[in-house]
């Protein structure tokens, strides 16, 4: 469509099967995640909320992941930095804001859990906890259920580089390998686990671990969202066609402190951080769209205005929203409708 | 009614529930061709195929974790831990995940798994094939825990557990497997989770417990009745989480004297909570201090026969304690 | 005597023991340059180097397991769990290994590790940064468990734990870290493991507990004294495994009325055992049923402020319960 | 020594630095393990003991491992089939028999634990439990202690193929990799975990997992004890010289049922088992020694007589020995001498 034609054939996104609209949509989602994330940081600094944890510069690859998946059928098991991922899956800024403010209407947990603990059955986003890596065997379980039921679902799960050293990573991957389950394991390797640089977490390459489970392991540059899209799409393809799991290691970098409770300059230099800030792929991807004739500064200005409005609105709504009533604070330890078995 | 073994009751419950509901499946180490190390799943793979009776790699955290994922996806997994002694690698998945999924998501998600694990000693299994790990999981809201002592209850509780919308740990007693036989109807039935059962009516003292040691209490009670005219009232908790408060209080009120028994070690065991409930609610109805007769506070039982015997409860130990309490 | 913060007492204990004994070392996530997420180990790496203040990969079972290996080899590791909520992956290493090494080897091997883990809520940490996991480990003989409420005890108990020849879990309360300050001598001292401490003398009712909630009890006691002339006797268990039976019975005997408190949820908590011990030994000295005031039986506290407040004990809740019991 | 000279130079064991005496000693130890193991099975069948678990055909490689280590300085963390290993470390048949009968003098546990649960501080054999793979992080801990203290010790730990799928394998290996610790991880891959064949345990090669931890992983034929000796010696060399851990996968086969409680014909065929029985390296190694002029049928006959005497004597002693008195059954939950800290 649009001013398509022969020129478009040369574009990377087209070759990957991404329509112009989707390529642009990806950008908008990345930018929405970025601005939401920045607002979260501001809110914490302003004392409006206690805590924020950031995914800044990890969003382009997160969004690319989301766009490579089938929102109707697949299962999503994100980790706490995945704002870009969950926004690409249909979670709204308002919902995220409700979670940031821990309000009762928050669909993730009714304000019970910390922000960044996503979950929405409607969006097929699986409820997550804080102890890292427990979601990896869960993803394998979702994939197992899909296989048993003959459903066309693929499970995709993300986790950090530090988290890949937990036993549950090993056990969840190996199980999926044995049974050739439709699951994609994604390590967002941002080269830190709180204060610990990658070399204190492991001497191996995380992607290489797949070899020991008998499935492909692929390392991909997180600053190249189209490449991430390609790799995840192919992994999805393999999974959906019965060829089993894939481990993907997305190379990225954590440019913020671990969370607002952390002072990262206690363990790394500003120079190191700045170096990586310079590699931010958000402006690069924007330029790509501009060069492809799909984006302009006018559109950018309009987008920024829209995003600001969305975030302002979400923020205002969430700030004013009510906490879960204390009468309800202890509900749902068990099912309330007694089943037959109770 | 047919009289069957406790282990057969467990197998039958799984078989019937798998026939009834195609979402039910069994997963664990050696559950397939071998039919489990105790033969609990024998024949099931033949009937239901490799997918629904799934041999899992030797990794308990994955067995629990994968089952939890499948349960969230809508399946009804029965995850087998080969021995309860080997379920500790799965603790994080059980306590941090299964127990908290409904609560943390404000009822958006649920986790209807059953985790079966054989408990108890007396089989020359030594330190790591004999343990009673109830206390580790007991203090965790969000879990249900059952521990049947009869074939009838084993079948009915396992069916209830499978149909339950929340995670249930099913502690089956490996000493009961072939030793305990009783009448089990052919018709479908469940034993409701959360309800204790009066095993024996009596007016002189109350014994409260669960799983294997109750059979020693029953034997002791018969002898006490015949030899001393002492009638013990015996309550089988059956479910240990949530405890049947009313059932407990009623049973204690009947006699005013209570002996709590279990094979798990005394300190921090289920018996402590039962005692605390009674001390909270029925203090003035008691005619004697609340007694507990439990496993000794040592890490686990030795494998050598005298050591094992020294560790375990038996009819004689029960009889002595019951007589003493009755005469108090 | 200098008045210092609870967290500084913990850091000082480690520092002094590391100076005293070159076999002592600290291992955990982010304990090095960062000095721990709470700054508990701040400065230690600078003083003792990267080897003795060792950043470990994000894997709690390895942190415990490697520490256990090193302890068996003769070292004295202090393994830090970043939050007690995250120690469950290490359960198998703690319960199957640390707790049983001496017993299973008939005293040939031992395992002198300390596992430090911050417990408790009130820091807007939500479900997984606020838990009290005491009940999970309490029922396991072979472990010792301490849970100090003051800076003085924190320092003295941690030193005792490090010098102890057996595995000790050290549950430090993260709410106490900066809130609780008290006098801590410069000289070396230990607080013996297994001994409770009378925090306040009184004759009208006894409060028994451990860790943070005792401070609410102390505040409530002051007000009850001033407003009602009611004098509470308050016992800090300090060690929860092994419990100080004599200390407990003595404290209860003083008043005949007892309220047991902890932040961990009620069912299956330490309080159940304390109540059971009293009901076993002192039934006839009681002038009121044994009360427990504990965390509610839900998986964990919510992060939203009203929910968190609703969950937690505080001075008012304590005061109400204490008054009611005193007037019973 | 002996009839050495130029011919001996061509022998494999000589090239590996094994003296003729040691090469013969290895054989004797293998045979001792074999005969002990067979006796254990007989005792169980005769109803004298409740339980036996066998390492038959795994002994040659186990003994080779032991001979490659430094008994004075190293630390040993065997698993339950390692009779050949612990015999090569100095445990006696009498001690093993005391354990089989669960008698009080058993140095492993005073008859508290099942047979196959080795432990002896005197022999630097670390006490083990039944839950599999917990010993892997322990070995890393022993290696860490050695490094911290500047001691020349190397830790060596064994475990099965099934057991390599536990989280503790992953966590223990990775920790050792990061800190380049002197430890050797040995998987005795006998291709079954009770009833489950290797392909139901993993689709990867276990040795390949080392890649993901950044240290060498080597697969070796368990039926070639001299090759096992070489590989373990080299791994020990690397460990001792600060080059970090090695993962070794010894390919073998479990020719017996899992234990005397198992009926293996429920899940595999006699043909499969017989095929592997035919590959037993014990007679092959004997022939090697004969060909090398180091062994003869006379020596063999004498050895068999000696071994029978040793086993008979151990058996008789153990059978008659006392159980641990019940007064002592509950001792040593905690240290009995109160330390200062108590
Ligand atoms: C089991 C467990 N241990 C410790 C923690 C505390 N913790 C939270 S995030 C984190 C670091 C995670 O690092 P990584 O996996 O690399 O993810 P990143 O935060 O870098 O994205 C730690 C140690 C936890 N949440 N869970
Ligand atoms: C954590 C744990 N789960 C289950 C068991 C029960 N079990 C004992 S041995 C075994 C199989 C081990 O297989 P493998 O590691 O290959 O060693 P092999 O017996 O084949 O030598 C199992 C499942 C156990 N001991 N520990
Ligand atoms: Mg990271
Ligand atoms: Mg094997």
Determine the average pLDDT of the residues in B35-58: 98
Question: Do residues C224 and C322 touch, judged by C-beta distance below 8 A?
Answer: yes
Question: Do residues A139 and A155 touch, judged by C-beta distance below 8 A?
Answer: yes
For the annotated catalytic residues of D, the residue numbers are 254, 258, 267
Contact between chains at B62 and A131 (C-beta distance less than 8 A)? no
A190 CA closest ligand 1 atom index: 20
Question: Do residues A179 and A171 touch, judged by C-beta distance below 8 A?
Answer: no
Question: Do residues D190 and D253 touch, judged by C-beta distance below 8 A?
Answer: yes
- CA-based nearest residue in chain C for residue D174: C57
Contact between chains at C127 and A166 (C-beta distance less than 8 A)? no
For the annotated catalytic residues of A, the residue numbers are 254, 258, 267
Cβ atoms < 10 Å from Cβ of B284: 9
Q: What is the pLDDT of residue D9?
A: 56
In a domain, A337, yes or no: no
The set of residues, in sequence order, having a beta carbon less than 8 Å from that of D27 and lying 6+ positions away, is D285, D286, D289, D295
Q: What SS3 class is residue C9?
A: helix
In a domain, D4, yes or no: no
pLDDT tens column, B148-200: 999 999 999 999 999 999 999 999 999 999 999 999 999 999 999 999 999 99
Q: Please, how many CA atoms are within 13 Å of residue B3, restricted to the half-sphere of its CB? A: 5
Record the tokens describing residue D230, joined without a space.
């070489």
Question: Do residues B192 and B245 touch, judged by C-beta distance below 8 A?
Answer: no
- The answer to whether B123 contacts chain D (CB < 8 Å) is no
pLDDT tops 70 at residue A189: yes
Q: Whose CA is nearest to atom 19 of ligand 2?
A: D193
Give the mean pLDDT of chain A.
95
In a domain, A338, yes or no: no
The ligand placed nearest to the CA atom of residue B30 is 2
Q: What is the pLDDT of residue D337?
A: 77
Contact between chains at A196 and C58 (C-beta distance less than 8 A)? yes
Question: Do residues D235 and D249 touch, judged by C-beta distance below 8 A?
Answer: no
Contact between chains at B58 and D330 (C-beta distance less than 8 A)? no
Give the distance, in angstroms, between the CA of residue A280 and the centroid of all CA atoms in the same chain.
Answer: 17
Whether B262 is a known active-site residue: answer: no
The ligand placed nearest to the CA atom of residue A55 is 1
Q: Report which secondary-structure segment, H or E, holds B115.
A: strand B114-119
* C-alpha–C-alpha distance, residues D236 and D183, integer Å: 8
The set of residues, in sequence order, having a beta carbon less than 8 Å from that of A271 and lying 6+ positions away, is none
Question: Angle at Cα A312 formed by Cα A306 and Cα A317, nearest 5°?
Answer: 125
Q: Which residues in chain C touch residue A193, judged by CB atoms under 8 angstroms apart?
A: 29, 58
Candidate CATH numbers 3.40.50.970, 1.10.1740.10, 1.10.10.10, 3.40.228.10; the one for domain C3-183:
3.40.50.970
* C224 phi/psi in degrees, rounded to 5: -65, -35
Q: Whose CA is nearest to atom 24 of ligand 2?
A: D131
Record the tokens describing residue A192, joined without a space.
């830190």
Contact between chains at D112 and B89 (C-beta distance less than 8 A)? no
- CA-based nearest residue in chain B for residue C283: B289
Q: Which residues in chain A touch residue B74, judged by CB atoms under 8 angstroms apart?
A: 145
DSSP string of C144-210? EEE---SHHHHHHHHHHHHH-SS-EEEEEETTHHHH-EEE--SS-----TT--EEEE--SSEEEEE-
- The answer to whether C311 contacts chain A (CB < 8 Å) is yes
C58 CA closest ligand 1 atom index: 23
Minimal Cβ distance to A332: which of B65, B103, B192: B103
Q: At what angle do helices D20-45 and D59-67 cross, to 10 degrees?
A: 140
Minimal Cβ distance to D335: which of C70, C165, C194: C165
pLDDT tens column, C290-322: 999 999 999 999 999 999 999 999 999 999 999
pLDDT tops 70 at residue D8: no
Q: Which residues in chain C touch residue D132, judged by CB atoms under 8 angstroms apart?
A: none
pLDDT tens column, D226-267: 999 999 999 999 999 999 999 999 999 999 999 999 999 999
- CA-based nearest residue in chain B for residue D196: B30
pLDDT tens column, A4-60: 445 445 899 999 999 999 999 999 999 999 999 999 999 999 999 999 999 999 999
* C-alpha–C-alpha distance, residues C314 and C286, integer Å: 26
* C-alpha–C-alpha distance, residues A74 and C170, integer Å: 44
CA distances to B221, B259, D87 from B318, in Å: 9, 9, 45
Contact between chains at B129 and D114 (C-beta distance less than 8 A)? yes
* C-alpha–C-alpha distance, residues A322 and A326, integer Å: 11
- Tell which residue, A121, A181, A107, has the closest CA to residue B72: A121
In a domain, A146, yes or no: yes
Bridge partners of residue D247, in order along the sequence: D185, D217
CA distances to C10, C28, C301 from C122, in Å: 20, 24, 9
Give the mean pLDDT of chain B.
98
Q: Whose CA is nearest to atom 17 of ligand 2?
A: D160
* C-alpha–C-alpha distance, residues B79 and C242, integer Å: 34
pLDDT tops 50 at residue C9: yes
Q: Which residues in chain C touch residue A194, judged by CB atoms under 8 angstroms apart?
A: 29-30, 34, 37
For the annotated catalytic residues of C, the residue numbers are 129
Determine the average pLDDT of the residues in B231-257: 98
* Ligand 1 geometric centre to CA of C125 (Å): 15
* D328 exposure class (CB count in 10 Å sphere: 0-12, 13-18, 19+): middle
CA quadruple C174, C180, C185, C191: dihedral sign? negative
pLDDT tops 90 at residue D341: no
In a domain, A335, yes or no: no
Name the one residue in this structure whose structure tokens are 């838990």: C131
Question: Do residues B278 and D300 touch, judged by C-beta distance below 8 A?
Answer: no
DSSP string of A279-328? T-HHHHHHHHHHHTTS--HHHHHHHHHHHHHHHHHHHHHHHHSPPPPGGG
pLDDT tops 90 at residue A244: yes
Record the tokens describing residue C5, joined without a space.
């913060």
Name the one residue in this structure whose structure tokens are 């791994």: D235
* C-alpha–C-alpha distance, residues A253 and A223, integer Å: 9
Q: Which residues in chain A touch residue D168, judged by CB atoms under 8 angstroms apart?
A: 167
Record the tokens describing residue A119, joined without a space.
């979950």
CATH number for position D253? 3.40.50.970
In a domain, D3, yes or no: no
pLDDT tops 90 at residue A2: no
- The answer to whether B305 contacts chain D (CB < 8 Å) is yes
Strands D183-189, C181-183: pairing is unpaired
* C-alpha–C-alpha distance, residues C254 and C201, integer Å: 9
Numbers of helices and strands, H then E, in chain D? 12, 7
Minimal Cβ distance to B70: which of A134, A144, A342: A144
Contact between chains at B272 and C267 (C-beta distance less than 8 A)? no
Q: What is the pLDDT of residue A9?
A: 56
C window 92-121, beta carbon within 8 A of A: none
- The answer to whether D177 contacts chain A (CB < 8 Å) is yes
Bridge partners of residue D246, in order along the sequence: D184
Q: Which residues in chain C touch residue B88, judged by CB atoms under 8 angstroms apart?
A: 91-92, 95-96
* C285 exposure class (CB count in 10 Å sphere: 0-12, 13-18, 19+): middle
pLDDT tens column, A299-335: 999 999 999 999 999 999 999 999 999 999 999 999 9
Distance from CA of C30 to the nearest CA of A (A): 6
- Tell which residue, C96, D95, D330, has the closest CA to residue B130: C96
* C-alpha–C-alpha distance, residues A165 and A167, integer Å: 6
DSSP state of A120: B
Domain-wise residue ranges, chain C: 3-183, 197-327
User: What count of residues does chain B have?
Assistant: 328
Ligand 1: list residues with CB < 6 Å: A 81, 130-132, 160-163, 190, 192-194, 254, 258; C 29, 58, 60, 82, 86, 89
Minimal Cβ distance to D148: which of C51, C72, C103: C51
- CA-based nearest residue in chain B for residue A144: B70
Contact between chains at C65 and D332 (C-beta distance less than 8 A)? no
- Tell which residue, B194, B179, B181, has the closest CA to residue B121: B179
- CA-based nearest residue in chain D for residue A134: D167
* C-alpha–C-alpha distance, residues A123 and A108, integer Å: 11
pLDDT tens column, D268-280: 999 999 999 999 9
In percent, how much of chain D has pLDDT > 70? 96
Q: What is the pLDDT of residue A4?
A: 47
Q: Which domain holds residue A61?
A: 12-330
In percent, how much of chain B has pLDDT > 90? 100
Q: What is the pLDDT of residue D1?
A: 40
* C-alpha–C-alpha distance, residues D191 and D198, integer Å: 5
* A&B contacts, CB < 8 Å: 163
Q: Which residues in chain D touch residue A247, judged by CB atoms under 8 angstroms apart?
A: none
- Among B30, B43, B121, B123, which would you mutate to test the D interface (most chain D Cβ atoms within 10 Å of its Cβ)? B30
Contact between chains at D112 and C71 (C-beta distance less than 8 A)? no
pLDDT tens column, D58-91: 999 999 999 999 999 999 999 999 999 999 999 9
Question: Do residues B88 and B52 touch, judged by C-beta distance below 8 A?
Answer: no
Q: Please tell me if the domain spanning B3-183 has the same topology as the one spanning B197-327.
A: yes
Q: With a cut of 0.95, is the ipTM above it? A: yes
C197-327 fold: Rossmann fold (3.40.50)
pLDDT tens column, A125-148: 999 999 999 999 999 999 999 999
* A219 phi/psi in degrees, rounded to 5: -100, 135
Domain tally for chain A? 1
* C-alpha–C-alpha distance, residues C70 and A127, integer Å: 38
């Amino acid at each position: 469509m649009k001013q398509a034609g022969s020129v478009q054939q040369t574009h990377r996104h087209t070759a990957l099967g991404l329509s112009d609209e989707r390529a642009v949509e990806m950008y908008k989602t990345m930018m929405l995640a970025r601005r939401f994330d920045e607002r979260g940081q501001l809110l914490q600094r302003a004392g409006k909320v206690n805590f924020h944890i950031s995914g800044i510069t990890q969003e382009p690859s997160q969004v690319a992941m989301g766009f490579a998946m089938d929102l109707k059928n697949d299962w999503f098991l994100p980790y706490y930095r995945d704002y870009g991922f969950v926004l690409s899956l249909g979670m709204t800024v308002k919902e995220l804001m409700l979670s940031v403010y821990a309000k009762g209407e928050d669909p993730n947990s009714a304000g019970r859990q910390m922000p960044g603990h996503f979950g929405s059955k409607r969006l097929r986003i699986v409820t997550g906890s804080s102890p890292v890596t427990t979601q990896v065997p869960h993803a394998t379980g979702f994939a197992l259920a899909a296989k048993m039921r003959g459903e066309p679902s693929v499970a995709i799960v993300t986790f950090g580089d530090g988290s890949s050293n937990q036993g549950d990573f090993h056990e969840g991957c190996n199980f999926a390998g044995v049974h050739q389950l439709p699951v994609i394991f994604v390590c967002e390797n941002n080269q830190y686990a709180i204060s610990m640089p990658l070399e204190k977490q492991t001497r191996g390459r995380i992607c290489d671990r797949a070899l020991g489970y008998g499935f492909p392991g692929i390392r991909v540059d997180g600053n190249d969202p189209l490449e991430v899209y390609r790799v995840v799409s192919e992994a999805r393809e393999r999974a959906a066609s019965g060829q089993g799991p894939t481990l993907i290691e997305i190379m990225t970098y954590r440019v913020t402190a671990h969370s607002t409770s952390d002072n990262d300059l206690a363990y790394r230099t500003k120079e190191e951080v700045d170096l990586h800030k310079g590699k931010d792929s958000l402006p690069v991807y924007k330029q790509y769209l501009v060069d492809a004739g799909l984006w302009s500064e006018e559109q950018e200005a309009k987008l920024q205005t829209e995003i600001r409005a969305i975030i302002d609105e979400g923020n205002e709504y969430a700030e004013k929203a009510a906490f879960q009533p204390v009468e309800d604070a202890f509900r749902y330890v068990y099912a309330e409708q007694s089943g037959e078995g109770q | 009614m047919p009289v069957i073994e406790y282990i057969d009751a467990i197998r039958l419950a799984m078989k019937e529930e798998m026939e009834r509901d195609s979402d039910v499946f069994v997963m664990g180490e050696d559950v397939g061709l071998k039919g489990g190390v105790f033969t609990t799943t024998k024949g099931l793979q033949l009937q239901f195929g490799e997918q629904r009776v799934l041999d899992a790699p030797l990794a308990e955290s994955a067995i629990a974790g994968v089952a939890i994922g499948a349960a969230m996806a809508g399946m009804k997994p029965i995850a087998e831990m080969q021995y309860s002694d080997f379920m500790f690698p799965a603790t994080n998945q059980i306590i941090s995940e299964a127990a908290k999924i409904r609560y943390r998501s404000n009822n958006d998600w649920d986790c209807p798994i059953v985790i079966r694990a054989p408990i108890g000693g007396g089989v020359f299994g030594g330190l790591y094939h004999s343990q009673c790990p109830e206390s580790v999981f007991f203090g965790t809201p969000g879990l249900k825990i059952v521990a049947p002592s009869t074939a009838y209850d084993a079948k009915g509780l396992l069916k209830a557990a499978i149909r339950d919308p929340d995670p249930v740990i099913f502690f089956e007693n490996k000493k009961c497997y072939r030793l305990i036989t009783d009448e089990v109807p052919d018709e479908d039935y469940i034993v409701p989770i959360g309800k204790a059962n009066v095993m024996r009516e009596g007016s002189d003292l109350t014994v409260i417990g669960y799983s294997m040691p109750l059979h020693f209490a029953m034997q002791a009670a018969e002898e006490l009745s015949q030899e001393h005219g002492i009638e013990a009232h015996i309550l089988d908790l059956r479910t240990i989480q949530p405890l049947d408060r009313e059932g407990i209080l009623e049973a204690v009120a009947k006699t005013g004297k209570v002996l709590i028994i279990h094979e798990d070690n005394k300190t921090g065991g289920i018996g402590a909570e039962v005692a605390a409930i009674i001390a909270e609610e029925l203090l003035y109805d008691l005619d004697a201090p609340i007694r507990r007769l439990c496993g000794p506070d040592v890490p686990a039982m030795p494998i050598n026969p005298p050591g094992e015997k020294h560790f375990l409860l038996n009819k004689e130990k029960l009889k002595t304690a019951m007589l003493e309490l009755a005469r108090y």
